[in-house]
Amino acid sequence: MTNTFEGEHLLPGQIGYLFIVTAFVASLFSCFSYFRAVKTETADPSESKSWLGLGRWSFGIHTFSIIGIFAALFYVIANHLFEYHYAWSHSSLDLPGKYLLSCFWEGQEGSFMLWIFWQALIGVVIMKTAKTLETRTMTIIALVQAVLCTMILGIYIGNDIKIGSTPFVLLRHMMQGAPIFSVPNYLDFVKDGNGLNVSLQNYWMVIHPPVLFLGFALTIVPFALSLAALWRGDYKEFVKPTIAWTLVAGAVLGTGIMMGGKWAYESLNFGGYWAWDPVENASLVPWLTLIGGLHTILVFRSTKRALPITFVFLIFTYLLVWYSTFLTRTGILGKTSVHAFTGDGQALYYHLLVVIAGFLALSLGLLMYRWKTMPRIKEEEATLSREFWMFIGAAVLFIAGIAIIWDTSLPVWAPLVKMISGKEMAPPVDVIKHYNDIHVWIAIIIGFLSGLTMYMKYKDTTPKKLWTNAAIAAGLAAIMAMGIGYSQRITTWQYSFMLFSTCFAIVGSLHYGIAVQKLKFKNLGPVTAHFGFGAVLLGILLSSYNKHPISYNTTGEILNFGKGNAEAEMKENRENVILFFGIPVAVGDYAATYIGDSAVEGKDKRVYYKVRFEKYDSASQKVTESFMLYPDAFINPKGNQMGLSANPDTKHYMSHDIYTFINQATDKSKSDTSSYRTYIMHKKGDTAFLPAGFMVFNGFDKDIKDPRYKPGDSDIAVAANLTIFDKQGKQHSAKPLYIFKNREYVAHIEDTIKEMNVFARLDNIVVKSQDSAYAELKVRQTDPKDDFIVLKALVFPFINVLWIGVIIVVFGFFISLAKLMGGKAKPELELE
C-alpha cells in the first residue's frame, strides 16, 4: 500500500484533533486545579486563589478548544472533504446549506460534541455566577467534561481497546484494506458522500437537537450543585441557584422534548407526535425526575424537609441522562426502536457502562457519606400541608419515570428472562396501549395534585377554606369535563377520569390565580406552569383519544383479523387510499384529488405531491371549502432503492389537524409506462386522440414568444400551435419549438401541460413545397391510471391545545425564574 495520497486535506483534521486533545487535557487540568482550590479553600485562601485562577484559565482553554473542534469539523463538512469519514457518511454535495449543521447530530461524535459544547458554555456561566460554590461545582463539571472528551478522543490502548471515536478519522483509515485505497488518487473516485438521512432534512431537525442537548446539558448544574452541597455538608447556599438552574433545565428540556414531538409529527410518518418510542422515553424520564426534584427542593426551601429525596432526584436525573445515552447510542435498543442511533459497537457500550458506574459510585458515595448528618425535622408534617402533597406528587413523577425506563429497558433485562424461562421477550404487541394503560393513572394523580396542592399552605392549611376552594374548582371542572367528554365522545372510564382530572388542574390553577393570588403577575409562575401542564394533558388526551384515519380505502379484498365486525376489520387494514391523477376520491368529509407533483428531472430529490381537498355542500352542490396539501417524499433517496421516504403535510384548524402523508407514488423516472407516440399533422385543423383527451393542430407560428428560446445567430424557430382538450373539455395550449439553421436541425424545445401530464415535441418539419409543410409531432401522455399516489390521512382533534399548553408551561417556568432572580431573598416562592 502506498503511503502518499493525492488531493487530501489533512490539515483541518490535524488541527481539529489537536483541539480535541487540548480540550481533554485542559478539562483534566481544570478539574485538578479546582479540586486543589477546594482542598485549600479554608486552610490557605491565597493558595486556593491561585489554584482557582488556574482552574478558570484551563477551563477557558477547554471551552475555546471545543469551539475550535466545531469550527474544524464544520470546515470539513462545509467543504465536502470526503477524505474524512464523517463528511463522507453524513453529508453529500447536493445537501442544502441549511442542513449542514444537522450533519453534526446525525453522527455519534457530533452529538457528543454538541453536548460537550453546551456543558462548556454552562461551565463558563457557572464560573461567573456561582461565587463561593464555584470551586466545588466546577470540579464536578470539569470532571464530566473530561469524561465526555474521552468519547471523541479515539485512541487505542493496545490493539483491541479503543477509547472514543474522533470525528476526524479519515475514510481510508475507517475502511482499511478496501481496494480503492490502494491507488494514490483514490479521492477522484470518491465523488460524493453518503448524504444526510432524509428524515433529518427538516427544519425541526435543525433546532430540535441543539435545544434537547442544551436541556440534557443543563441537568448537570443541579447535579453538580447537589454534589457540591454534599461535599461540604453545606445545604444553604446551593438552594437558590439549584432552583434557578432546575427551572431553566426543566423549561429547556421540556421544550426540546416537545420539539422532538413536533418534528416527529411534521416529518415522520409514524402518525403522531408521541409513540412511546424508546428514544422519546429516554428523554422524557430525566424530565420527570427533574420536575420531581424541583418540587422537593421548593419544599426544602420553605420547610427544611425533603432534602435527602431532593438529592436523590437531582442526582438520578443526571445519571438518567447518561443512561439514556447508553440506551440510544449503543445499539442495544436495536430491535425495539424506530430511531435509535445505530450502535458504535462494543467499545462505546463498555465505555458508557464504566462512566455511568463511575458517576453512580461517586454520587451515591457522597450521598451515603452525608446521609445520616443531613438536616431533618423530627415532627411529622401535617396531612393537609402543601409539603406533604408536593412530596407525594414528586414521588409519583419519579415512579412514573422509573416505570417508563423499566419498560424501555426491555433489551437490557430480556437476556436475564431468557436465562430463567427460556423465553425471548419482545415489546408489547400494542406498545402505545401498554404505556397509556399505565400512565393514564399517573396523569390522573398528577392532574388532581397540581390543582389541589396550590390551595394548600406550607406547614398547615385551614381545612374549611381548602375544601371550599377545592369544591368550587371541582364543580367547574366537572361541568367543563362533561361538556368536553360529551362533545368529544370520551366514553372509556379511565379517560373520563383523566379528563376530569386535567380539567381540575386547569380550572384549579385559574381559580387559584384569580381568587387567591389576585393575578399578581410575579406570583403567577407556578399557577401558569400548572395551568399549562393541565392543558398539555388535555391536549394529549383529546388528540390521541379521537385520532382517527379518514383515508379508508374501499377497493381490494378484506382480510380477516378476527375483530368480529366489519367496521373494525376495515379499520385494521384500509387506512391507505389510492388517488389516481385527477380523479376525486372521498377522504373523510372531503373530496381529495391528486393534481400533480413538483418532480423536475435531475433536480431536487424531494417531490411534493399536490392534493386538493374540497368540501361540498350536498344540498347546493357547491364547494364550501377548498385547500391544498403538499405531502412530499424522497423517491429513491439513495439510488436504486425500493420505496420512498415521506414527509407529511398538515392542514391546521383551530379545532383539529388533518395530517396526510404519501405511502407510495409512481416513480416517473422508472415506471413511466407511456412513451412518445408519433402524430403527423398535415394541415391546419387536423385532430388526433391522446390517451386522455385530444389535440388540434392550428398550424405553425413563426412569431416566437417563448422565454426559453433565445434567438441565436441566423437560426430560425418554428412553433407548432396546438390546442389540447382534456376529458372535461377544458382547453390547453401548447407550442413546442423546432429550431434550425441553414435547413439543418439544431434543437427542439418541448412544451408540457402539467395538468394533463402531456409532453409535446415538434420532432420534425417536413417541407413538401413552398407553402405546404407538415408537422411530425411526438407526444406522450401518461395514462392517468399509471399516475397515482397512495395517501394516508389522519385527523388529530385539538392538537393545538397541546402545543399551546407547552408554551404556557415554559412561560410559567420563566415567571418563577424571574421572581426568584429578582426577589430579595424572600424565603418562599409562593405566598398567599
Partner 1 sequence: MKKTHIALLLLIVVAIAGISAKFLDFSTYETFSSAEKAPDKQFYVIGFLDKAKAVNYDAKTDPNKFTFFAKDKAGNEKQVVFIKGAPPRDLEKSEQLVMKGHVQGDQFICSGIQMKCPSKYKNDQTIGEKI
Query: Least distance in Å: CB of 307 to partner 1?
Result: 13
- Dihedral sign for Cα atoms in the order 800, 802, 805, 810: negative
At residue 584, φ and ψ (nearest 5 deg) are -70, 140
Considering the rule CB under 8 A, would residue 43 count as an interface residue with partner 1? no
- Dihedral sign for Cα atoms in the order 200, 206, 210, 211: negative
Site for partner 1 in 339-358 (CB under 8 A): 339-343
Cβ closest to partner 1, residue 664 vs residue 721: 664
- Indicate the SS3 state at residue 277: coil
Cβ closest to partner 1, residue 509 vs residue 647: 647
Give the one residue of 383, 624, 655, 671 binding partner 1; rule: CB under 8 A.
Answer: 383
Cβ closest to partner 1, residue 559 vs residue 619: 559
Site for partner 1 in 773-812 (CB under 8 A): 785, 788, 790, 792
Considering the rule CB under 8 A, would residue 402 count as an interface residue with partner 1? yes
Q: Which stretch binds partner 1 (CB under 8 A): 51-59, 202-210, 429-437, 593-601?
A: 429-437
52: which 3 cell numbers? 482557582
Give the one residue of 9, 39, 571, 574 binding partner 1; rule: CB under 8 A.
Answer: 574
* CA nearest neighbour of 316 among 295, 351, 285: 285
Q: Which stretch binds partner 1 (CB under 8 A): 35-43, 365-373, 380-388, 736-744?
A: 380-388
The interaxial angle of helices 108-129 and 220-232, nearest 10 deg, is: 50
Give the one residue of 121, 392, 482, 818 binding partner 1; rule: CB under 8 A.
Answer: 392
Q: Which stretch binds partner 1 (CB under 8 A): 134-142, 328-336, 685-693, 724-732?
A: 328-336
Give the one residue of 15, 54, 100, 338 binding partner 1; rule: CB under 8 A.
Answer: 338
Cβ closest to partner 1, residue 417 vs residue 680: 417
Give the one residue of 71, 364, 395, 591 binding partner 1; rule: CB under 8 A.
Answer: 395
- Distance of alpha carbon 750 from alpha carbon 778, whole angstroms: 10
Cβ closest to partner 1, residue 83 vs residue 277: 277
Cβ closest to partner 1, residue 270 vs residue 369: 270
Considering the rule CB under 8 A, would residue 335 count as an interface residue with partner 1? yes
Residue recorded with cell 454552562: 122
Site for partner 1 in 625-644 (CB under 8 A): 637, 641-644
Core vs surface per residue 618-637: b (16+ CB within 10 A) or e: eeeeeeeeeeebebbbbbbb
Considering the rule CB under 8 A, would residue 561 count as an interface residue with partner 1? yes
Site for partner 1 in 661-680 (CB under 8 A): 663-664
Burial (CB < 10 A; 0-12, 13-18, 19+), residue 149, is buried
Site for partner 1 in 160-189 (CB under 8 A): none
* CA nearest neighbour of 746 among 780, 705, 713: 713
Q: Which strands, in side-by-side order, build the sheet including 772-781?
A: 677-681, 772-781, 758-769, 751-753
Give the one residue of 364, 384, 432, 696 binding partner 1; rule: CB under 8 A.
Answer: 432
22: which 3 cell numbers? 487540548
In 10 A of CB 426, how many CB atoms? Answer: 11
- Distance of alpha carbon 152 from alpha carbon 166, whole angstroms: 5
Residues 795, 657 contacting (CB under 8 angstroms) = yes
Considering the rule CB under 8 A, would residue 225 count as an interface residue with partner 1? no
Query: Least distance in Å: CB of 436 to partner 1?
Result: 11
What's the distance, CA 436 to chain centroid?
A: 21
DSSP code for 170: B
Q: What character string, x for contact with partner 1 (CB under 8 A) and - otherwise, covers 512-551?
A: ----------------------------------------
- Dihedral sign for Cα atoms in the order 564, 567, 568, 571: positive
Q: What character string, x for contact with partner 1 (CB under 8 A) and - otherwise, covers 436-475?
A: -xx--x----------------------------------
- Indicate the SS3 state at residue 267: helix
Considering the rule CB under 8 A, would residue 562 count as an interface residue with partner 1? yes
Site for partner 1 in 259-278 (CB under 8 A): 270, 275-277
In 10 A of CB 233, how many CB atoms? Answer: 11
- Indicate the SS3 state at residue 615: strand
What's the distance, CA 1 to chain centroid?
A: 44
Side chain identity, residue 235: Y
Site for partner 1 in 404-423 (CB under 8 A): 406-407, 410, 423
Considering the rule CB under 8 A, would residue 430 count as an interface residue with partner 1? yes
Size of the site for partner 1 (CB under 8 A): 72
Q: How far apart are the first and last CA of the chain?
A: 79
Q: Which stretch binds partner 1 (CB under 8 A): 50-58, 240-248, 426-434, 523-531?
A: 426-434
Considering the rule CB under 8 A, would residue 429 count as an interface residue with partner 1? yes
Q: Which stretch binds partner 1 (CB under 8 A): 224-232, 335-343, 464-472, 650-658?
A: 335-343
